[in-house]
C-alpha cells in the first residue's frame, strides 16, 4: 500500500452558497510527504481541505487524484485511497470505541463481505497507534474531548488509505498526545510511504513535523515550501498579522516562531521608550 497516489487541485474555487472562500487556487500535495496547511481562522484552510477530501464540490476548477477529476470518481473508490478526519464528526448514542473505529473498515467491505482478520488487525493497530486500546469497550459519549479526538483519528487510520487528510487533529489534545499523534503520522509517511495532509493550528508543531508547509491567508496561498524557507517573519506577519522572531528549535532543528507581543519585546541595544 505504499503506492504513491497524487492529489492536486487546479484553479479551484470553493464556497458555501454565495460566499466564496477560496478562489482559483492551485496546489499539488507532494506524495509521500507530510504537508501541513496553516493560516489564521477563516483563511480557508478547512475549506480547502474539504474540497480536497471530496466533501465539498468546487464551484469551478477541479481536484485531481492521479490525474482523474475526483468528483467524477465513485465515492467508494475515492474512500479506499483517501481517508479523512472531518472537523465535527457525530458519534451516535451509545456506540463503543471499537465499533466506531470499526466503521472505518466500511470502504473495504462493500455490501456483503463479512468481517475478516484483516479488519480486526486494522482496527487493533489503529487503536494501539492512538493509545486507545484500553478504551475499546467504552462508550464514546463517556470519553473526554481528547480521548474522543484520538478515537476519530483511529477510525481514519483504520481505513488504511494511502492518503490521509486531517482537519485540526490536535485540538483538545494534551501536549503529550499531540506529539504522539504527530509522531504517528510521521511514521505513516516515513515507514509506509503514505501521504498525510493536516490542518494544524500550532505553527511550531507544523514546522517540526511538516515536510511541506502551505501558508494561507484570505483564501489564497501566501507561501509554500519547506518549513525553513516558508517560515520567515514576513510570512508570519502576512498570515497572522503578528511580529515574530524566528529561531532554531533546539530539539528538531526546525524553525521556531517566537511571537512578539505588546508585553514581550526584543531586548534591543537601544532601549525603546
Partner 1 sequence: MMLAAGQRSTRVPARAGGLLLLGVALVVVLFFSITVGARPIALGDVLAAITAPDPDSTTHRIILELRLPRTLVGLLVGAALGLAGAILQGATRNPLADPGLLGIQSGATLCVVLGISVFGITTLSGYVWLAFLGAGIAAVAVYLIASMGREGATPVKLALAGAAVTAALGSITSAILITSVETLDQIRFWQVGALTGRTMDILAQVAPFLLLGIALALTTGRILDGLAMGDDVARGLGQRVQLNRAFAGLAAVILAGAAVAAAGPIAFVGLTIPHVARAMAGPNYRWILPYSMLLGPILLLGADIIGRVIVPPGELQVGIVTAAIGAPFFIAFVRRRKLAEL
Partner 2 sequence: MNVNVQFTPATTVAVARHRLRSRHRLVSAGLALLVLALEAVALTIGDYPLPVAEVVTSLLSPFTGVTDPASDFIVLGVRLPRAITGLLAGAALGLSGVIFQTVLRNPLASPDIVGITTGASSAAVVAIIVFHATGLTIAISATGGAVLIAALIYALSWRGGVTPYRLVLVGIGMAAIAAAITSYLFTRARIFEVQQALAWLTGSLNGASFDNLGPLALGLLVLGPVAAILYRPLASLELGDDAAKALGTRVEVTRLGTLLVAVVLAAFATATVGPIAFVAFAAGPVARRLLGPAGNALLPSALVGAAVTISADLIAQHALGRNQLPAGVVTGAIGALFLIYLLAAANRSGRGG
Catalogue the E-assigned strands of 66-117.
68-69, 82-85
Which of the ranges 31-39, 49-57, 59-67, 194-202 carries the binding residues for partner 2, by CB under 8 A? Answer: 49-57
In the complex with partner 1, which residue's Cβ is closer, 90 or 117? Answer: 90
* Rounded Cα gap, residues 187 and 48, in angstroms: 25
Min CB(16)–partner 1 separation in Å = 8
Stretch of residues binding partner 2 (CB under 8 A), selected from 64-72, 103-111, 169-177, 258-266: 103-111
Candidates 40, 59, 62, 133: give the one binding partner 2 (CB under 8 A). 133
Q: Could you tell me if 8 and 62 are in contact, meaning their C-beta atoms sit under 8 angstroms apart?
A: no
Does position 59 bind partner 2 by CB under 8 A? no
Q: Is 94 exposed, middle or buried (0-12, 13-18, 19+ CB in 10 A)?
A: exposed
Instruction: In angstroms, give the least distance from the CB of 159 to partner 2.
Output: 7
Q: Using the rule CB under 8 A, is 42 a contact of partner 1? A: yes
Are residues 188 and 135 in contact, defined by beta-carbon separation less than 8 angstroms? no
Radius of gyration for the chain, computed over Cα atoms and rounded to the nearest angstrom: 20
Number of residues lying near partner 1 (CB under 8 A): 4
Cα–Cα distance, 66 to 5 (Å, whole number): 6
92 lines the binding site for partner 2 (CB under 8 A): yes
Does 17 help bind partner 1 (rule: CB under 8 A)? yes
Residue 1 contacts partner 2 per CB under 8 A: no
Amino acid at each position: 500500500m505504499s503506492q504513491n497516489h497524487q492529489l492536486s487541485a487546479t484553479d479551484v474555487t470553493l464556497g458555501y452558497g454565495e460566499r466564496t472562500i477560496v478562489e482559483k487556487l492551485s496546489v499539488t500535495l507532494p506524495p509521500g510527504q507530510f504537508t501541513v496547511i496553516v493560516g489564521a481562522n477563516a483563511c480557508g484552510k478547512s475549506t480547502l481541505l474539504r474540497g480536497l477530501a471530496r466533501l465539498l464540490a468546487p464551484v469551478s476548477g477541479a481536484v485531481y487524484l492521479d490525474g482523474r477529476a475526483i468528483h467524477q470518481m465513485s465515492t467508494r473508490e475515492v474512500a479506499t485511497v483517501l481517508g479523512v478526519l472531518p472537523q465535527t464528526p457525530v458519534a451516535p448514542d451509545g456506540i463503543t470505541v471499537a465499533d466506531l473505529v470499526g466503521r472505518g473498515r466500511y470502504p473495504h467491505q462493500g455490501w456483503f463481505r463479512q468481517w475478516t482478520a484483516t479488519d480486526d488487525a486494522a482496527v487493533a493497530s489503529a487503536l494501539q497507534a492512538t493509545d486507545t486500546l484500553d478504551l475499546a469497550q467504552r462508550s464514546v459519549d463517556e470519553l473526554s474531548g481528547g480521548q474522543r479526538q484520538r478515537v476519530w483519528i483511529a477510525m481514519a487510520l483504520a481505513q488504511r488509505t494511502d492518503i490521509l487528510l486531517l482537519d485540526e487533529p490536535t485540538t483538545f489534545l494534551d501536549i503529550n498526545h499531540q506529539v504522539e499523534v504527530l509522531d504517528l503520522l510521521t511514521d505513516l509517511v516515513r515507514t509506509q510511504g503514505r501521504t498525510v495532509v493536516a490542518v494544524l493550528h500550532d505553527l511550531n508543531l507544523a514546522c517540526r513535523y511538516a515536510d511541506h508547509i502551505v501558508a494561507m491567508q484570505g483564501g489564497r496561498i501566501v507561501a509554500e515550501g519547506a518549513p525553513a524557507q516558508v517560515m520567515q517573519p514576513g510570512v508570519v506577519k502576512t498570515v497572522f498579522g503578528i511580529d515574530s522572531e524566528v529561531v532554531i528549535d533546539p530539539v528538531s532543528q526546525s524553525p521556531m516562531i517566537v511571537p512578539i507581543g505588546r508585553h514581550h519585546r526584543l531586548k534591543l541595544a537601544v532601549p525603546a521608550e
